Amino acid sequence: MKDLLIIDGHNYIFYFYRAGKLENTDIEDLKDRLISDLSAYGSQKECSIIVVFDAKGSSNRARGIQTVDNIKVIHSRKGETADTVIEELAKKWSDQRKVFVVTSDYLQQKVIFGKNIIRKSSREFSLEIDSVKENIRQTIKENKNRSRGNFYPLEDRLDPDTKKKISDLRKKIIK
């Protein structure tokens, strides 16, 4: 069974993106950015990923659970903290696989510590995400450079008569 990565969403956003004094709409954008980063991370690592957000001010009696780009996104219910959800998930899954919990909340780090549960600070995890994104950029760059050598422009593959017809057609259209 794959390892499980659980991220304290707001904790990570406020640490990594330095989102201390942002409006709600900005926070939503940063949530989307985090999910996108996690999706890139998950595409390179063999693990399941869950990100948990507090639903502060929400009147929802049930947890909000959805899957976005293979990332399970959970919003806690009214009166429940993300920490509570994270503790529950970590304990539930730790008997079956390694569970990594990403948070820089000191108390949370102490509470979740247990068998098969490994904590990562937001700083540690942000370095891992940066590394994965850099590896992806390098792979794209290498593939692009490799494909350039194999690419033959269309005009190099056309006979002179066809080139002339296309040129004449282009001149008619441009007029």
In this predicted model, what pLDDT tens digit does every residue of 118-147 receive, in sequence order?
999 999 999 999 999 999 999 888 887 776
Q: Can you give the pTM of this predicted structure?
A: 0.76
Spatial distance between the Cα atoms of 92 and 167, rounded to a whole number of angstroms: 68
Q: Give the model's pLDDT for residue 42.
A: 93
Residue 39: both structure tokens together: 């999706």
Say whether domain 3-122 belongs to CATH 3.40.50.1010: yes
Pairing of strands 117-120, 99-102: parallel
Pairing of strands 47-53, 117-120: unpaired
Q: Give the model's pLDDT for residue 133.
A: 92
Domain positions in the chain are 3-122, 130-174
Q: Which ranges of the chain have pLDDT less than 50?
A: none
Q: Give the model's pLDDT for residue 28.
A: 85
